[in-house]
Structure 1
Amino acid sequence: MAMAISLPLSKAFMSIFTGCLMLNWLIEGHFQVKLQRLKERKSVLLFISVFFLYLIGLLWTNSMQWGMHDVKIQLPLLIIPLVIGTSDALNYTQVKRIVYVFSAAVIVASFCSIFVLLGFSGKTIHDQREMSLFISHIRFSLLINISIFSLFWFALRAEKQSFLEKAFLFLAMLWLTIFLVILKSATGWIVFLIVSSVVIFQNILTIKNRSGRVLLLGVLLSIFFLSAIYIGYVIQQFYTIEKLPSDFSKEKTSRGNAYMHDFNNKELENGHYTYLFINDDELREVWNKRSKINYDSTATSGYNHYVLYRYLTSKGYRKDADGLNKLTNEDIRNIENGMTNYRFVNPFSFYNRIYQIVWEADVYKKGGNPSGHSVTQRMEYYKMAIQIIKENFWFGSGTGGYYRAYQEQYDQNKFFKDQKYRQRSHNMFLSYWIDFGLIGMFYICFALTAPVFLERKTKSFLLLIFLLIVLISFMNEDTLNNHDAISFFAFFYPLYLYSSPSKSLQGET
């Protein structure tokens, strides 16, 4: 339970309680019984063999420093499956308590995030995804999804539950779903939509009532059609571009000053061109009167004059004294805090995050720098990953060998001059391929999926939904190359896999 609480709240306690689990396992003794269980459960050996593959990969790495770094991160994949897999199986009630405590910790973490978002802590949030205080916002969104669907399963159990317990479950699921929207993690949204669709489709196949099947099918189709229509609406709004008069380049400001136009830069903001109609002298004069931040500076709050360009453009204003004077004091504060578009004021809007992705794609398509743009920079990461794979196709670069290989690719890349954007592939399959080659990647995929069949848990809702959430995250995140993610993976997988095989824990919804 302590380990479960630490997952959304503290990286340090994840390590501490992993050590406590191992220490408790050693003090408990009964090693003959544990050794017998280890012999009987080949799945445990498969699990921990992934960790030993990281050790073996040190034999051909070109960076022992980064190799040992990766081995250290993977330690939970050795310790936790070994402890849970060779200990007495937890029963249904015990697993439920752990899930409830974990979900309560996720809710506490979400309340802390809202506390910061509303400004009570004094910290300025420039992006909703910065709300995740304790772990990465992507990993936090995965934990939220694990909590939502685990609570959903317990809520629909046939066991007798009190009114308060039922109320807690549904209120918790409702709040976490709302918070997932506020968090604005595209990965979290995609995971939620796909898993919800899978659950609905599963029930369409199993439900006997015809009208119920039709209703569920309608809900499933609505999820896809409404999502597609809304995304199409955002794209259509983005590309509804202003029409400019043929002689606009000759126009001047109301003060008689000439505008600067960058005809080579086609960046858009709400259908308006960002780099047309700019007069820096007028902007500098008015801005320095209205703000304490100097026009030509770059503030830690997120301000720079490029942010001002984008914000004015988003309103359809020209970048001159008149345009800046049209802004309210609230607009000035937004710009000072790094807000680039007036529409981003609403923290509950789906529109904002979808718009950001469309904007990123448009900038990238026009040759812009994808650095710092969560979606388009992944495109470059994938390209570089493929180049690295070609050089060591079968056996990879070894544990930690990715670092030097990536640095060589980054040095040849016209983007990513800033070291903080020089990251891994953001795809777990590509990461495995880079480290261990095609052979190693296939082995790890086998070692991490075969336990489901060896333990005959192919009908366990909790386990399969958990694995689906992790699998989806593999497509756009190096999920198991991070301490917080490997910890929750190494914890929940064996927890659900080796729990008591009672009908209540095995059952489907």
Structure 2
Amino acid sequence: MKLVLNKRFFSFDALVLLFVVLFAIGMVCSKFLLSISMLSWLLTCLLHGDFSTYFKRIKNNLGFLIILLFYAIHLLSMLWTQDLDSGWDGIRVRTTLLLIPMLFTISFSPKGRNIILINHIVIASVAFIALLNLGHYYFLTRNFQALDIRQLSWFGSHIRFGVLASFSVAIAYFNFSKKNLSPLLFWIFVAFITYYTLFSQVFSAYLALAIVGICIVYARMALKGWTKYFWIFLAVTLISFGTFLTLLLNPNHAECGEFKNFELANKEWNARSEMPLGGLDKKNQPLQSTTERYMCSKSIEVNETNIRKLSATDIQNIENGFADEYQANNGFFSRISEIKYQLYEAKNPNGHSLLQRIEYWKTATFIVSNHFFAGVGIGDIDQTFGYAYEERHSPLSKEYQARSHNMFLTTWIGTGLVGITLFVLLFIVGFYQSVKRRSWLLFVFMLVSLLTMFFEDSLETQAGVSFFAFYYSFLLLGNVRIIQWSLKNN
């Protein structure tokens, strides 16, 4: 029996739009909103009860059918999973990847004004939360409580919000190109999100923002008929940035030394700080090593008496675990400084994100080579990584051993050759449809998702899977083909 609704205030389409808006806001800042909006949307569709139409739309939607098979292979992998608790938890997280595309497919009819409205809400939500994050982090910094840049994200995953914030620049550009966002507001938003992204130190967000920026340049050139010049621009940009990055990462000093006389160094240090030099800083790193690295970063010769040259702020930074001034101030150059240390001076990968990732990828490819066809099952991924780290005699200690931080490798390990094939097909369909429909925003989303998933297990968290499921569905799977996503003003 179909749900009877007041057509003016409680029409089915109006309720669906409400749930889409709530889910979009939840994607920015609230797991509760994600859950309640998705479940309410599902219940409304069930009560609406137009099952013959639902089935027809699902049957004719290739993108959703691939998602359905992708979800099914994860369920099937439970047959050869030993850790059922972990397996069902993985299924629970991935259920969003099934439900949101299904709900969009059966019930969302995109209309121009609603699309713009949803975009505006996402843009406003991202700007508001980013502003709150910066204010909160500033408060922590003033009270010497900001020990890790991940504290910047107040409401959820630091990485996922960073990627969403970067992608929101593309959303803002789309609205701007449709003359639904003023040039002033657009450029203020771009400047603010660029600052926030550089400050955040999230590599995936840097990558996403770079992709969005390049795609915006292409769109502007295409509108003016300058497409052939874009490739020259891209080549010059990549060469210039590569040269700039090479110069930044080039070691500009000799290898850092160390204190020769610990007793004398400890005496000098104790005159400046109450924390023992032989202990740990507030990030649980060896304080002596942090002190030596900090002095080296300031081009102060690492010897015992030169501890006197450190200012009170320097001492505070060292106690908080910052190995140089850039780290204490955060931002892009802080990230560069950390990478330089990892490349040239780190003795082992523990506690160093870049070196850890390399070790993750080596271990993941080792697992894939041993479980090429069937994978290990979605529930046994963590357990298999643990065994592989031991078998490879990995230098990573237990606390730093983790999954691959590469969604393609994680999918292959969990679901085997069939799973990774279906996952790749999702991207092939997305890119194909973006070109076929001349959908600039869909193309940007697919490119951002593809490249960031090489560095993150994006579908392993509620925030990550919600972002992918929402925009894959919103831009691709609505029950009307969205030709109007082209940047042309119709």
Match of 1:313 in 2: 296
Q: What pairs with 1:444-459 in structure 2 (closer than 5 Å)?
A: 444-450=423-429, 453=432, 458-459=437-438
Q: In the alignment, which of 120, 130, 149 is matched to residue 128 of structure 1?
A: 149
Question: Are residues 1:432 and 2:386 paired?
Answer: no
1:14 CA drift (Å): 2.2
Report SS of the residue matched to 1:434: helix
Once residues 343 and 298 of structure 1 are traced to their aligned partners in structure 2, the CA distance between those partners, rounded to angstroms, is 20
Question: Are residues 1:401 and 2:422 paired?
Answer: no
2:439 maps to a residue whose letter is: S
Match of 2:167 in 1: 146
Q: What pairs with 1:336-375 in structure 2 (closer than 5 Å)?
A: 336-348=319-331, 350-363=332-345, 368-375=347-354
Match of 1:69 in 2: 89
1:287–1:448 Cα change, 3 Å: same
Say if 1:43 and 1:454, in contact at 8 Å, map to a contact too.
Answer: no
Q: In the alignment, which of 56, 59, 66 is matched to residue 76 of structure 2?
A: 56
1:118–1:461 Cα change, 3 Å: same
Point out the more displaced range, 11-20 or 405-414: 11-20
Question: Are residues 1:80 and 2:94 paired?
Answer: no
1:478 CA drift (Å): 1.2
Say if 2:434 and 2:442, in contact at 8 Å, map to a contact too.
Answer: no
Once residues 225 and 279 of structure 2 are traced to their aligned partners in structure 1, the CA distance between those partners, rounded to angstroms, is 66
Q: In the alignment, which of 415, 427, 430 is matched to residue 395 of structure 2?
A: 415
Q: What pairs with 1:252-267 in structure 2 (closer than 5 Å)?
A: none
Report SS of the residue matched to 2:379: coil
Once residues 151 and 312 of structure 1 are traced to their aligned partners in structure 2, the CA distance between those partners, rounded to angstroms, is 43
Q: In the alignment, which of 454, 462, 468 is matched to residue 447 of structure 2?
A: 468
Once residues 69 and 284 of structure 1 are traced to their aligned partners in structure 2, the CA distance between those partners, rounded to angstroms, is 49
Once residues 296 and 112 of structure 2 are traced to their aligned partners in structure 1, the CA distance between those partners, rounded to angstroms, is 57
Question: What root-mean-square deviation, in Å, do the aligned CA atoms of Structure 1 and Structure 2 show?
Answer: 2.6
1:279 CA drift (Å): 2.4
1:493–1:457 Cα change, 3 Å: farther
Match of 1:156 in 2: 177
Q: In the alignment, which of 246, 253, 260 is matched to residue 278 of structure 1?
A: 260
Q: In the alignment, which of 155, 161, 181 is matched to residue 198 of structure 2?
A: 181
Match of 1:228 in 2: 242
CA displacement 1:290-315 (0-9 Å, x = unmatched)? 22323333243556232112112222
- Give the helix-richer structure, 1 or 2: 2
CA displacement 1:378-412 (0-9 Å, x = unmatched)? 11111111111121111111122222211101224
Report SS of the residue matched to 1:119: helix
Say if 2:208 and 2:452, in contact at 8 Å, map to a contact too.
Answer: yes
Q: In the alignment, which of 319, 325, 329 is matched to residue 308 of structure 2?
A: 325
Once residues 100 and 328 of structure 1 are traced to their aligned partners in structure 2, the CA distance between those partners, rounded to angstroms, is 47
2:395 maps to a residue whose letter is: F
2:72 maps to a residue whose letter is: F
Once residues 120 and 310 of structure 1 are traced to their aligned partners in structure 2, the CA distance between those partners, rounded to angstroms, is 24
Match of 1:249 in 2: none
Q: In the alignment, which of 25, 50, 60 is matched to residue 40 of structure 1?
A: 60
Say if 2:74 and 2:419, in contact at 8 Å, map to a contact too.
Answer: no
Say if 2:73 and 2:418, in contact at 8 Å, map to a contact too.
Answer: no
* TM score, norm. by length of structure 2: 0.87
1:407 maps to a residue whose letter is: G
1:55 CA drift (Å): 0.5
Once residues 145 and 325 of structure 1 are traced to their aligned partners in structure 2, the CA distance between those partners, rounded to angstroms, is 43
Report SS of the residue matched to 2:450: helix
Once residues 235 and 135 of structure 2 are traced to their aligned partners in structure 1, the CA distance between those partners, rounded to angstroms, is 36
* Percentage identity across paired residues of the two chains: 24
1:325 CA drift (Å): 0.8
Match of 1:334 in 2: 317
Question: Are residues 1:17 and 2:37 paired?
Answer: yes
Once residues 88 and 479 of structure 1 are traced to their aligned partners in structure 2, the CA distance between those partners, rounded to angstroms, is 25
Say if 2:207 and 2:452, in contact at 8 Å, map to a contact too.
Answer: no
1:213 CA drift (Å): 5.9
Report SS of the residue matched to 1:74: helix
* TM score, norm. by length of structure 1: 0.84
1:94 CA drift (Å): 0.9
Report SS of the residue matched to 1:400: helix
1:374 CA drift (Å): 1.5
Say if 1:7 and 1:488, in contact at 8 Å, map to a contact too.
Answer: yes
1:452 CA drift (Å): 6.0
Question: Are residues 1:297 and 2:279 paired?
Answer: yes
1:455 CA drift (Å): 9.3
Once residues 239 and 388 of structure 1 are traced to their aligned partners in structure 2, the CA distance between those partners, rounded to angstroms, is 39
1:292 maps to a residue whose letter is: E
2:340 maps to a residue whose letter is: V
1:394–1:19 Cα change, 3 Å: same
Aligned pair count reads: 465
Once residues 454 and 38 of structure 1 are traced to their aligned partners in structure 2, the CA distance between those partners, rounded to angstroms, is 17
